[in-house]
Chains A and B, each alone.
Chain A
Amino acid sequence: MPNPSPDFRYPLRWRLMDGVERLADTLWPRSMSRHTGWLFITPAILLVGLLVLGLIQIGDASLRVLDTATFLPSEDWSLTNYRKALASSTYLTVAWRSLSGAVLVTVLTLILAFPYAYALVRVRKAWIRKALLITLFLPFFIGQVVRAYGWLIILGNSGMVNEALSLVGVAPMRLLFNYGAVVFGLVQYMLPFAVLLLVPALTAIPEETETAAGSLGASWPRILWHVLLPMAKPGLIGAGLVVFTLTLTDFAVPAMLGGGSQDYIANAIYDQFFRTADQGLGSALALMLVAAGSVLVGLVFMVFGAGTLAMGGRK
Chain B
Amino acid sequence: MSGGSSAESTAGNPVAVVAQGVDMDFGTGAMAVKNAAFSLERGRFLTILGPSGSGKTTLLRMIAGFQTPTRGTILIGGRPADAVAPHRRSVGMVFQKLALFPHMTVEENVAFPLKMRRFNPREIPERVAHYLDLVRLAGFSKRRINALSGGQQQRVAIARALVFEPELLLLDEPLAALDRKLREEMQLEFRRIQKELGVTTINVTHDQREALVVSDEIIVMDQGEIQQQASPVGMYRRPANPFVAHFIGVSSFLTGRRTGTGLTVNGTECAGQAVDDIAPGLAAQGAIRAEQVRIAAPGGDLSGCDTVLEGQVSDSIFEGERLLYFVRLPALETTVQIYHHDPAEQAPYARGATVSVGWNARDLLIFPAKDR
A interface list, Cβ under 8 A from B: 206, 208-209, 211-219, 222, 226-227, 230-231, 233, 313
Interface 9-residue window, one of B110-118, B187-195, B207-215, B266-274: B110-118
Contact of B66 among A211, A216, A231 (CB under 8 A): A211
- Does B85 contact A219, Cβ atoms closer than 8 Å? yes
- CB within 8 Å of A: which B56-105 residues: 64, 66, 85-89, 91-93, 95-97, 99, 101-103
- Does B97 contact A206, Cβ atoms closer than 8 Å? yes
Instruction: Classify the secondary structure of A's interface with B.
Output: helix
Contact of B93 among A206, A209, A215, A227 (CB under 8 A): A215
- Does A209 contact B99, Cβ atoms closer than 8 Å? yes
With A209-B99, A313-B102 in contact, is A218–B116 under 8 Å at CB?
yes
Q: Name the A residues within 8 Å of B87 (CB-CB).
A: 214-219, 222
Report A309 CB to chain B, min CB distance, Å. Answer: 15
B164 at the interface (CB under 8 A from A): yes
- CB within 8 Å of A: which B137-168 residues: 146, 160-161, 164
Contact of A214 among B86, B102, B160 (CB under 8 A): B86
Report B238 CB to chain A, min CB distance, Å. Answer: 36
Interface size on B, residues (CB 8 A): 25
Distance between Cα atoms of A117 and B319 in the complex (Å) = 53
With A206-B97, A215-B91, A217-B164 in contact, is A226–B102 under 8 Å at CB?
no
Q: Name the A residues within 8 Å of B92 (CB-CB).
A: 215-216
Distance between Cα atoms of A216 and B96 in the complex (Å) = 16
Report A313 CB to chain B, min CB distance, Å. Answer: 7
Distance between Cα atoms of A207 and B248 in the complex (Å) = 33
- Does B117 contact A212, Cβ atoms closer than 8 Å? no
Q: Name the A residues within 8 Å of B113 (CB-CB).
A: 216-217
- Does B117 contact A231, Cβ atoms closer than 8 Å? no
- Does B89 contact A215, Cβ atoms closer than 8 Å? yes
- Does B101 contact A215, Cβ atoms closer than 8 Å? no
Q: Name the B residues within 8 Å of A226 (CB-CB).
A: 112, 116
Contact of B117 among A206, A211, A213, A217 (CB under 8 A): A217
Report B201 CB to chain A, min CB distance, Å. Answer: 15
Q: Name the B residues within 8 Å of A213 (CB-CB).
A: 101, 112, 116
Report B97 CB to chain A, min CB distance, Å. Answer: 6
Most buried by A among B95, B113, B116, B117: B116
Distance between Cα atoms of A295 and B97 in the complex (Å) = 41
Q: Name the B residues within 8 Å of A206 (CB-CB).
A: 97, 99
Distance between Cα atoms of A22 and B71 in the complex (Å) = 71
Q: Name the A residues within 8 Å of B160 (CB-CB).
A: 216
Apart from A216-B161, A222-B87, A231-B102: 16 A-B pairs, beta carbons within 8 A: A206-B97, A208-B96, A208-B97, A211-B86, A213-B112, A215-B66, A215-B87, A215-B89, A215-B93, A216-B92, A216-B160, A217-B88, A217-B113, A217-B164, A231-B101, A231-B103
